[in-house]
Amino acid sequence: MDPTAASATPSIDTEALGLDEGALLLVRRALAQVPVGGNLLARGRAPNWELHLTAWCRQQGHAIQTSALSDGVCEAIVTRGPWAEGRWRDALTAGQSQLPAPSAKPEWGLAARGATVEAGSPAFNFTLSNRDELWATTADEIYAQGVAAQWDPQTAIDWDTPFEIDPEIEAAVVQVMTFLVENENAALIVPARHLGQLHPHYREVQQVLALQCADEARHVEVFTRRLGMRGRQPMLSTAGGQASLRTLLQAPDFSSATFLLSVLGEGTFVNLLSFLHEYGPDPVTRQICRLAARDEARHVAFGMAHLKYRLSVEPDYLARLQNAIEQRHEALAPTSGLNEEVFDALILIAAGSLTPAAIARGYAAVQRLKLDMAAGRKSRLLHLGFPADQAQRLADLHTRNFM
Amino acid sequence: MNQPDLIMGAVAYAPKVVTIWEGFKTWFQKRGLQFDYVLYSNYEAQVEAQFNGSIHLAWNSPLAWVRADRIARSLGQSVQAVAMRDTDRDLRSVIVTRADSPVQSIADLQDRTLGVGAIDSPQATLIPLHHLRSAEVVDGRDFQVRRFDALGGKHGDHIGGERDAALALLRGEIDAACMIDGNLLAFGLDGTLPAGSTRVISQTRPYDHCNFTTSPDAPAYAISQFVDLLLSMRWDDPKVRPLLELEGLKQWLPGRTSGYAALERAVDEDNFYGPDGSIRNAEYRY
């Protein structure tokens, strides 16, 4: 059924295949080889072939002359109309497939990077459409790592492993899980908001953020499941904790939000989850915290990669990051910080019992945790280019609520 | 906008009609024609408005054209078909049956049931029934008609009736169904009529569909400006292409009235309109 070039007029024989069974594809492709105004000799013997081809040509603006041959075979001379080309006049090219453009045009819309976009396509007002404001050179690698590291809560966690636990310790675990869920909710909503504003031209970043949302959704699930494992209800959520998380939703731009959430907040959470992995009183708590910490570390890596990119093209942005920390600190100054119940629960989890000796060990472990958290924040700030004294000061201004 | 130079009537057979004419209105106005439009819920009211000074021009169905022409002639006036779509020319209607049906020709319709479209559909009712009568196969005498009425007064612009008839055919409720050739293809492509499920037993001669019909006292200069602008619309203009796609054409062509003879005869046979354009069909609701 290939068009033949043997005669002066290209031809296509669709044989017994109906135009409503796929033969239109063959006719379209054969016609595409003919110049505008040129003729295609089409032949077919499917039922209604002539009726269908005539109706289709009328709709498409191709002239047609038909004639019936013997044995139910019909023939038609189709003269190609100019309309198919007209659709692509003044079409836009949505950047280059392998290279994100410095800025993405609203008219590129949802098209794949590098696609040809029909003129007159609707403009989409994605507010995050400048590469410098959102890019990370390793976004594609971080996405690939994230995809490879996805885990299924149902099979990755030994939910049915039996364990004994003191009711006081169980209550401490439930309080910490309650705290973790509200923090993960914030960590889900912040990238989800950016995702809806991000021009899809920057697909690697879009993919990272989408995966980040999926990660956080999974974390909310496993912390919620652990919380209710022994029939308990969620415990306390403080105004100060929620006020702290709300400031993440109010960050003025993508870079500042990523800085506060991923570099500082989730970075701090990696320490917290590692602590719970180490001291968790039961195998489920230890497993879910280990897996969640691994995900959070990837989010930190993306945050760092993005900010390093942004600072490489806009070194003065460092001052904006400093302002972001200071403003958040001032906004949270009147709040109470980490709730005492969470603080005590962490001590109790690390202590393992309520004896003074055990509590002393637990208290010391939580003090070490706080020092580790601050050291981690300082290290990342140094890595971004803050001078040492400033890095120390800013690391200490981070919210007492950890995230 | 100041007083419009030209007011056109259109029938709101679907919500997209507003999109189409708002778009064209802006396009005409940017090119110096103060154009406005009025929507009617049915073609009968629109044609009548052509004779009471309400509109200068109407985007008419072929049946509305027949009526407007009859009213004008009876009043000693005249109306013109000044433009139409490329897709309004040389349409055909078909009569289809199920592939496994014993009905092989229109003669086999004897004592059987034929599904038609809306009572006022030129393509799915009036012209196919006229086509059969021309071959001495007469509705009511030789076969029963089952009507698939949708939106009376819209003159079959809504394809719901044709689709309902096609589905009833597949369910075995009727022995054959009438539809326009473009819908035969569309129903095949969208799966309404799976490939190989039906067989065409007859097709009409080519006929024409809609046109822009001038009202008797239409301002000649504005009409000529309208037609010139219409014919200058280009498919490769991204501002106008979406509107042309909604309206179902690639280019506007000058009007012609050579393709309405079959419908004229069908209207007389059915006594749908009188010679003066009066509505004679007592079952017609709109």
Give the CATH number for residue B144: 3.40.190.10
Q: Is residue B65 part of a domain?
A: yes
In-domain check, residue A1: no
Clarify whether residues A73 and A138 are in a common domain.
no
Using a CB-CB cut-off of 8 Å, the residues of chain B touching A81 are 250
Kindly determine whether residue B195 and residue A21, on different chains, have CB atoms separated by under 8 Å.
yes
- Say how far residue B34 (Cα) sits from the centre of its chain: 27
Looking at A256-260, A332-336, B18-22, which range is the least confident one?
Answer: A332-336
In a domain, A238, yes or no: yes
Q: Domain residues for B80?
A: 6-88+208-270
Chains A, B: CB pairs < 8 Å: 72
Residue A2 lies in a domain: no
A62 and A207 fall within a common domain: no
Higher-pLDDT residue of A194, A6: A194
Nearest to B185 among A55, A81, A86 (CB): A55
Indicate if A256 and A354 belong to the same structural domain. Answer: yes
Q: Are residues A193 and A77 in the same domain?
A: no
Specify if B279 maps to a domain: no
Are residue B10 and residue B78 in the same domain, yes or no? yes
B-chain residues within 8 Å CB-CB of A18?
A: 188, 195-196
Which among B247, B201, B193, B216 is positioned nearest to B24, based on CA atoms? B247
Which pLDDT tens digit goes with each residue over A264-299? Answer: 999 999 999 999 999 999 999 999 999 999 999 999
Confidence (pTM): 0.81
Per-residue pLDDT, averaged over A61-78, amounts to 94
Say if residue A105's pLDDT is above 70.
yes
Close Cβ partners of B237 (under 8 Å, ≥ 6 residues apart): none
Give the per-residue pLDDT at A247. 93
Whether residues B75 and B106 share a domain: the answer is no
**Residues of chain A found within 8 Å of residue B97, distances taken between Cβ atoms:** none
Going by pLDDT thresholds of 50, 70 and 90, the confidence category of residue B98 is very high
Q: Tell me which chain B residue has its CA closest to the CA of residue A86.
A: B236
CB contact under 8 A, B185 and A86: no
The answer on A115 and A102 residing in a single domain is yes
Same-domain status, A17 and A39: yes
Whether A215 has a pLDDT exceeding 90, the answer reads yes
- Is the per-residue pLDDT at A331 higher than 90? no
Residue B68 near residue B277 (C-beta atoms within 8 A)? yes
Residue A243 above 80 pLDDT? yes
Closest CA–CA distance from residue B189 to any residue of chain A (Å): 5
Both A308 and A219 in one domain: the answer is yes
pLDDT at A12: 97
Nearest alpha carbon to residue A251 among A334, A328, A136, A335 = A328
Distance from CA of A121 to the nearest CA of B (A): 8
Which residues neighbour A41 within 8 Å (Cβ) at sequence distance 6 or greater? A7, A9, A10, A11, A12, A75, A76, A77
What rounded mean pLDDT belongs to chain B?
A: 95
pLDDT digits (tens, 9 = 90+) for B181-222: 999 999 999 999 998 899 999 999 999 999 999 999 999 999
- Looking at the structure, tell me whether residues B82 and B98 fall in a common domain: no
Interchain proximity B184–A51, CB inside 8 Å: yes
> pLDDT at position A2, please?
47
A340 and A269: one domain? yes
Q: In Å, how far is B282's CA from the nearest CA of chain A? A: 34
* Run of H or E residues at A39: strand A39-44
Cβ atoms of B165 and B177 closer than 8 Å: yes
B153 and B70 in one domain? no
pLDDT in the model for residue B111: 97
Position A6 scores a pLDDT of 47
Residues B177 and B245 in one domain: no
Asked if residue A401 belongs to a domain, the reply is no
Closest partner residue to A59 among B182, B193, B196, by Cβ?
B182
Q: Is residue B36 part of a domain?
A: yes
CA separation for the pair B286, B279 (Å, rounded): 11
The pair phi, psi for residue B115, each rounded to 5°, is -90, 130
Domain holding A215: CATH number? 1.10.620.20
pLDDT (0 to 100) of residue B1: 55
Contacts of B94 in chain A (CB under 8 A): 51
Q: Among the three residues A27, A54, A85, which one is the final residue of a domain in this structure?
A: A85
Total of domains in chain B: 2
B-chain CB neighbours of A90 within 8 Å are 236, 238
Contact B234 A81 (CB under 8 A): no
User: Is residue B243 situated within a structural domain?
Assistant: yes
Best residue in B19, B235, B247, B253 to probe A by mutation, most A CBs within 10 Å?
B235
Q: What is the mean pLDDT of residues A100-122?
A: 96
Q: How far apart are CA B259 and CA A24, in angstroms?
A: 28
Mean pLDDT of chain A: 94
pLDDT at B252: 97
Phi first, then psi, for residue B35 (nearest 5°) are -110, 140
Q: Is B10 within a domain?
A: yes
Specify whether B10 is located in the same domain as B64: yes
Q: Please check the confidence at residue A84 and state whether its pLDDT lies above 90.
A: no
Label residue A335 by pLDDT band (50, 70, 90).
Answer: confident
In this prediction, residue A334 has a pLDDT band, given cuts at 50, 70 and 90, of confident
Average pLDDT over residues A302-311: 98
Q: Is B170 left (phi over 0), alpha (psi -120 to 50) or beta?
A: alpha
- What percent of chain A is predicted at pLDDT more than 70? 98
Dist. CA A380–CA A361, nearest whole Å: 29
When computed from its CA atoms, the radius of gyration of chain B, rounded to whole angstroms, is 19
Q: Is A374 part of any domain?
A: yes
Last residue of one domain, picked from the residues B178, B203, B228:
B203
Same domain, A224 and A285: yes
Q: How far is CA A92 from CA A97, A108, A117, A200, B236, in A?
A: 13, 7, 5, 16, 14
Among the partner-chain residues A51, A56, A120, the one whose CB lies closest to the CB of B241 is A120
What span, in angstroms and rounded, lies between the C-alpha atoms of A293 and A322? 26
Interface of A with B (CB under 8 A): 18-21, 24, 47-48, 51-52, 54-56, 58-61, 81-83, 85-87, 89-90, 118-120
* In a domain? residue A402: no
pLDDT of residue A254 exceeding 70:
yes
Q: Do A48 and B184 touch (CB under 8 A)?
A: yes
Contact check, Cβ <8 Å, A20/B188: yes
Residues A257 and A205 in one domain: yes
Domain boundary among the residues B203, B231, B253 is at: B203
pLDDT (average), residues A102-131: 96
Q: Is residue B280 part of a domain?
A: no
CB atoms closer than 10 angstroms to residue A252:
11
Examine the fold and report which residue of A73, A107, A125 is the final residue of a domain before the chain moves on: A125
Q: Is residue B142 part of a domain?
A: yes
Of A21, A24, A51, the CB nearest to B181: A51
* Complex ipTM more than 0.90, yes or no: no
One domain for residues B220 and B256: yes
CA end-to-end distance (rounded Å), chain A: 65
Chain-chain contact of B250 with A81 (C-beta, under 8 angstroms):
yes
Q: What is the pLDDT of residues A114-125, one digit of tens each?
A: 999 999 899 999
| Count of domains for chain A | 3
Q: For residue A17, give the CATH number of its domain.
A: 3.30.110.40
Based on the domain organization, do A184 and A311 belong to the same domain? yes
| Separation of alpha carbons B94 and B263, rounded Å | 15
Residues B261 and B160 in one domain: no
* Closest residue, chain A, to B235 (C-alpha): A86
Give residue A1's pLDDT. 45
Q: How far is CA B158 from CA A55, B117, B127, B203, in A?
A: 18, 10, 17, 21
* Residues A251, A390 within the same domain: yes
Q: Last residue of a domain, which of A59, A85, A111?
A: A85
A300 part of a folded domain: yes
Q: How far apart are CA A365 and CA B186, in angstroms?
A: 73
Same domain, B84 and B212: yes
* Residue B194 in tokens: 């799976």
Q: What is the pLDDT of residues B148-169, one digit of tens each?
A: 987 789 998 888 889 999 999 9
Q: Is the pLDDT of residue A7 over 80?
A: no
Asked if residue B39 and residue B54 are part of one domain, the reply reads: yes
Note down the domain range covering A115: 90-125
pLDDT of residue A127: 95
DSSP assignment letter at A31: H
Q: What is residue A398's predicted lDDT score, i.e. its pLDDT?
A: 85
Whether residues B66 and B110 fall in one domain: no
Distance of CA A77 to the CA centre of its chain: 52
Alpha-helix residue ranges (DSSP H) falling in A198-265: 203-228, 239-249, 254-258
Say if A252 falls within a structural domain. Answer: yes
Q: Rounded to the nearest 5°, which phi and psi values hold at B58?
A: -135, 140
Does any domain span residue B282?
A: no
CB atoms within 10 A of CB A327: 16
pLDDT at B204: 98
Same domain, B180 and B216: no
Residue B235: list chain A partners with CB under 8 A.
61, 82-83, 86-87
Distance from CA of B198 to the nearest CA of A (A): 9
